[in-house]
Amino acid sequence: MGDDNVSTAEEATIICDTVAVLLARTFHHHDDSACAAFPVLLGLFESIVCKEAMHVMQEQGLPLLYAAFDHALSCERLDADDLLLILKVFAIHGTRDGAERIVRAAQLGIASQRTMWSVILEQFDEEHPQSVFMINRLKDSLLLGTLGIAYLQRANRLAAVGAIQRHPFDTDARCRQMTAWLRDADHLRHLQAAIAVAASLPYLDQTRGRDLLALALDHHSPCVQIEAAVSTIRLGNLSARKLLIRWCSDPRYSRIAMRSLRFLGWVDAVPAGCCHPDFLATADLCQWLSQPNEYGRPPDRIELMDTRVLYWPPTDDLRQVWLFSYHYDDHECSGGVGMVGSVTCSLIGETTSDLPAADVYALHCCCELQNNGDRRAPRYRSVKAGKTLVDRYNRSM
């Protein structure tokens, strides 16, 4: 198992035996230290690369995890993180016994605010053998937090491919929940929920969906407006096409709007200016900054700080790179500088628009080399170390 993959039945048997020992120490001997190795072992249930090992893990390993989950609900010997990791394993393996326990955990609202619920429910795509079972069993349960949002997103996906006949949110009670998500003044907390609500509208009774559509089109987030425009078009009103074309020209939302036009088959409607390299680079950084684990939304302002062609040591090739300064009006870390052209990112807290462009490139060069495990990477990230590396391949900055 040197490569972290389970490639033989013998390895799978060793893992199952180890899990059995750790669970016995945890539940019968009340040894909480045994839980420390649990995440690593659970990860191996996701790294099976041969049929024989899979058979052993499912025949011997999964029953151990079923028993551990059932026992944990009654005695609380496992923390929420371990329980969610077990549920992830159940989702990946696709058994009915595992799906039933995922449903039970969801109905109990176990750690419903944890983002791991998104990872768990993402496994239930149209190819998953338990997707319809999971959707139907939870259709009458009030699911809150990240769990509720993830459930709505899964329902949208399965409705889109015709895997379910009726959307579980097509009820008066669910519509009230979706209305609350759309009206939430905390736009970051329920932004993904509002987007999912807008995407669900083609699958709802039009009488119920009419008021939701109006709220979504008038939402303070352009991301929700764009999704609502797509739903409007899918419901037969083509006038919303103009809204999508307009948002294409704003780099903060261009990627979403262009993706929507492509989805609708209107690739030719994308404005020509949206294909300029500087514009595309700006849009790339805005998309990165909008990730939930970064700022969660695009910046209020973004400006081109520098662009040039460099021989870039981390990729060992000649390429155009960009630096952009960005600003958020209402964030404690109001702004920074991001790089595009290799690994799109911002070294938040390290780089600011006050730094010379050469210094910012130098820090990004160090960062990429370190992340790549490159032998040229300096032990400590610094402008001096990065400049030495970049200057070695470029005559001047």
Pairwise pLDDT comparison (233 vs 19), residue with the higher score: 233
Q: Please tell me the distance from the alpha carbon of residue 214 to that of residue 353, in angstroms, as a whole number.
A: 40
Residue type, 281: A
Name the burial class of residue 38, with classes exposed (0-12), middle (13-18) and buried (19+) by CB atoms within 10 angstroms of its CB. buried
Lowest mean pLDDT among 23-27, 64-68, 149-153, 317-321: 23-27
Mean pLDDT along residues 85-107: 96
- How far is residue 209 CA from its own chain's centroid? 27
Pairwise pLDDT comparison (111 vs 74), residue with the higher score: 111
Of the pLDDT bands very low, low, confident and very high (cuts 50, 70, 90), residue 34 is low
Q: Please tell me the distance from the alpha carbon of residue 198 to that of residue 273, in angstroms, as a whole number.
A: 28
358 Cβ contact list (under 8 Å, min separation 6): 387, 390, 397
Residue with tokens 């371990």: 82
Q: List Cβ<8 Å contacts ≥24 apart for 136-144.
A: 136/164, 136/168, 137/100, 137/103, 138/103, 138/106, 138/107, 138/168, 139/168, 141/106, 141/107, 142/173, 142/177, 143/106, 143/109, 143/112, 144/109, 144/112
Contact (Cβ atoms closer than 8 angstroms) between residue 119 and residue 146: no
Res 28: pLDDT: 62
**Is 60 exceeded by the pLDDT of residue 224?**
yes
Res 196: pLDDT: 96
pLDDT in tens, 152-186: 999 999 999 999 999 999 999 999 999 999 998 66
**Is 70 exceeded by the pLDDT of residue 220?**
yes
Contact (Cβ atoms closer than 8 angstroms) between residue 93 and residue 101: no
Q: Please tell me the distance from the alpha carbon of residue 254 to that of residue 246, in angstroms, as a whole number.
A: 9
Res 1: pLDDT: 47
**Is 60 exceeded by the pLDDT of residue 396?**
no
Res 185: pLDDT: 65
**DSSP bridge pairs for 345:** 339
Lowest mean pLDDT among 145-149, 228-232, 293-297: 293-297
Q: What is the mean pLDDT of the chain?
A: 91
Res 237: pLDDT: 95
Q: Please tell me the distance from the alpha carbon of residue 245 to that of residue 55, in angstroms, as a whole number.
A: 52
On the CB side of 233, CA atoms within 13 Å amount to: 20
pLDDT in tens, 325-369: 999 987 666 789 999 999 999 999 899 999 999 999 999 999 999
**Is 50 exceeded by the pLDDT of residue 2?**
no
Determine what percent of the chain is predicted with pLDDT higher than 90: 75
Determine what percent of the chain is predicted with pLDDT higher than 70: 93
